[in-house]
Structure 1
Amino acid sequence: MSTDYSNRYVFEAEWYDKVACILKKFYLYYYPSNNTIELFDLKTRKIFLKRTICEGIKAKDFYIGAVVTIFSRCIKIIGYADSYTKIKLETQLQKFFVLLKPDIIDKMGEIIKVITNDFHITNMKMMLLTATDVTECNFVKDTADKMSMINYLTSGPIVGLELLGENGIARWQELAGPENCKHVYSTTTSLLRACCGKNEMYNSVYGSKNIEMAMQELQYFFPNLKSENKGPKTTAILQNCTCCIIKPHAVQAKLVGNGS
């Protein structure tokens, strides 16, 4: 294995070998200083790929749950392999929850295009909220007219996003702008709420306000498979429908939401 430990990240990773029908597990070493990668096979205890430059991969592509393509192999990152990588990346990267409200679903493509300029979308789901969902997630906590807010958020489909980015929550708040859109109309139209919102209630988007809320909201909307909570109901009817898959290269090229 590598002996150069300066500025090196190590991840637990896996790759399904379709020819051998085997799920192979690796340590994936990434050196951001020169964009080189090394793979160490955990079963054979041998180097699977010697340290080499891998074109098209950047430091921002490495996070838990990411799939990176290394010489035509889709390698999934499933965990941190050492404390340095965990501490270094978890202090830089934040996962948080964002909700696109019912009245801007028709502008979803445009908004997602803006979001992907700054953040990774690591989970996404279109849902139908109930009054219980709205109250349990405290979307009405600081709202004077709680019933109007409940009626608004349950009036049609919403889109929930799990986003990942450096100092993500603070940067999201900068991108979204103040909750009361009227405060920004006169100064800028580059913020999401200034572009798409109308007032403090109809302000187009919601985002986690701190790490604690982010963890609670992500667990509620994107629960793990073992959780008793299955999350809000999706809009999928699974009848007379089809499935559309947006491939990784299209996402990386920021073509998602591109109307051209």
Structure 2
Amino acid sequence: MNHSERFVFITEWYDPNASLYRRYELLYYPEDGSVEMHDVKNHRTFLKRTKYDDLHLEDLFIGNKVNVFSRQLVLTDYGDQYTARQLGSRKEKTLALIKPDAVSKVGEIIEIINKAGFTITKLKMMMLSRKEATDFHIDHHSKPFLNELIQFITSGPVIAMEILRDDAICEWKRILGHANSLVARADAPGSLRALFGTDGIRNAAHGPDSFACAAREMELFFPSSGVCGPANTAKFTNCTCCIIKPHAISEGKCCVEYTFNHFVKRNLFS
């Protein structure tokens, strides 16, 4: 191992006292497991190099959340080219959002996600409020179709998933296909949007375009700041626990799709 080797990441931490996100440069030294932090905005050292046994090299991938001395940091980007080259092919997390028009196809979509080598690390079904939908579509605030987007995304439940694999962001975008389902059916007929979408608004599912976008959107649905995020649609009445075991998932969509369509959606998410 190179004794001077270090890996650098750009991170975000939610400061509950100031109600804002603070950005830090996190340096990790694999030789002795030490860490160092710099305040990006103020250009000063926040934490001098200190040995920290609870952070490991396998924890360092874009989209992951790591705890450093009780601060939960979201890794949003690589801090230098060396880190990007050395760790760029490592695992990433991204958001997979199933929109109201495709919730009925959740079993088939999860089968596609599993077959593509993703691990689903979080899953939540919810109804978005207009404010939550507006925050989610922040990049479209100047677009003439914004109101139509918001009306559609709040018209029924959505399913948000945090998914993990190598090059997760690019691979999930490839599986989704073109944003307009009509174009997707011509360009990539096997893509999710071609199979389950209708047009450029009702296009079945969503995925972030970049590391920063993935981190922001996952924070909306699975916040690390202590807030609850969008309300779960589960009522937890007249329900039970359903566990789908690994061998059943690997055998294909029959078990998974039947379980979601006949038990999870009907009896838990209602």
- Same fold at TM > 0.5: yes
Residue identity over aligned pairs, in percent, reads: 32
Aligned residues: 179
Q: Of residues 228, 235, 238 in structure 2, which corresponds to 1:237?
A: 235
Q: CA contact under 8 A between 1:140 and 1:149: conserved in structure 2?
A: no
Matched with 1:204 is 204
Matched with 2:256 is 257
Matched with 1:117 is 115
Q: Of residues 92, 95, 100 in structure 2, which corresponds to 1:94?
A: 92
Name the one with the larger helix percent. 2
Moved more, 210-219 or 248-257: 248-257
Matched with 2:190 is 190
Cα separation, partners in 2 of 1:157 and 1:258, compared to 1, 3 Å = closer
Distance 2:162 2:156 in 1: 20
Q: Is residue 103 from structure 1 mapped to residue 130 from structure 2 by the alignment? A: no
* Alpha-carbon RMSD: 2.5
TM-score computed with the length of structure 2 as normaliser: 0.60
Matched with 1:18 is none
Distance 1:168 1:90 in 2: 11
SS in 1 for 2:115: coil
Distance 1:93 1:169 in 2: 10
Cα separation, partners in 2 of 1:219 and 1:186, compared to 1, 3 Å = closer
Q: CA contact under 8 A between 2:177 and 2:188: conserved in structure 1?
A: no
Q: Describe the superposition over 1:184-212 as per-residue Cα deviations: whole angstroms up to 9, x where unpaired.
A: 32344200001111111011000111110
Distance 1:150 1:169 in 2: 24
Distance 2:88 2:121 in 1: 15
Distance 1:186 1:84 in 2: 40
Distance 2:171 2:58 in 1: 24
Distance 1:221 1:189 in 2: 29
Matched with 1:127 is 126
